[in-house]
Amino acid sequence: MKGALRFDGWIAGVGTSSGTRVVLGHWPRSPFGRFGDVMLEEPDGTRLLLAPTREVADFVTGVYRFDRVRVVPVSVRVEGAVWDVVAGPLALRFTVGRRGPLGMLLRCVPGVLAARPAWVALTDLPARLLPGVRTRGSAGAGRREWYGARDLRPITAVTASFDGADLGRLAPIDPPVRFGFGSTPRVPSLVRVVSTVGPVRGRSRRASGAGQRHPAC
């Protein structure tokens, strides 16, 4: 699709017993180069974006909705099954388990096929059986977005703190996060995805006001 932006990487979603839910995006290949970003929803519903650069923050706030935005260094380190993430006030470590039948099936999907809107539309039907999960929808500012999954592994353990406060033990992502048109799976998971964000249609991003209502702090 002409003008579309493609991101190839991983999305991890975890809940904690404190009520804080965290979504990590780790993108080795993207229009912005290699980067990671974190979307965090606090127990009171406040939605926070932690982005590594102003450019990434401006793009993400044009696609998703947040109450607060912070531009901070974001580090993602992977050693075997253990992921270590530091994003400003957030320190997150999680462990992934062995993939199940669905994960093995998704690994058989070729990358070219996973990125096609027609394939994503087909997989959106079974995905909707999972509460909050969608593979396509409106991305704001007249854009459309498609998620093509290529792998799925459970997250089996987590340690996390925010501003030095322990966020507690691993828990389901419940209630679902409210950053965009869909949430992550309720069960904490690491998903490999190809995400395609379509071009703005009908009006410019500036005219739509996308990203203008999210104060940086």
Question: Per-residue pLDDT tens for 109-152?
Answer: 766 655 656 555 555 544 444 444 555 455 556 666 677 777 88
Q: 34-79: per-residue pLDDT in tens?
A: 999 999 999 999 999 999 999 999 999 988 899 999 999 999 999 9
Contacts of 34 (CB under 8 A, 6+ apart): 27, 28
Please confirm whether the linkage preceding 199 is cis (ω < 30° from 0).
no
Q: Which domains does the chain have, with CATH numbers?
A: 5-200 (2.40.400)
Confidence of residue 213 (pLDDT cuts 50, 70, 90): very low
Alpha carbons 100 and 104: distance in angstroms, whole number: 6
Alpha carbons 130 and 127: distance in angstroms, whole number: 6
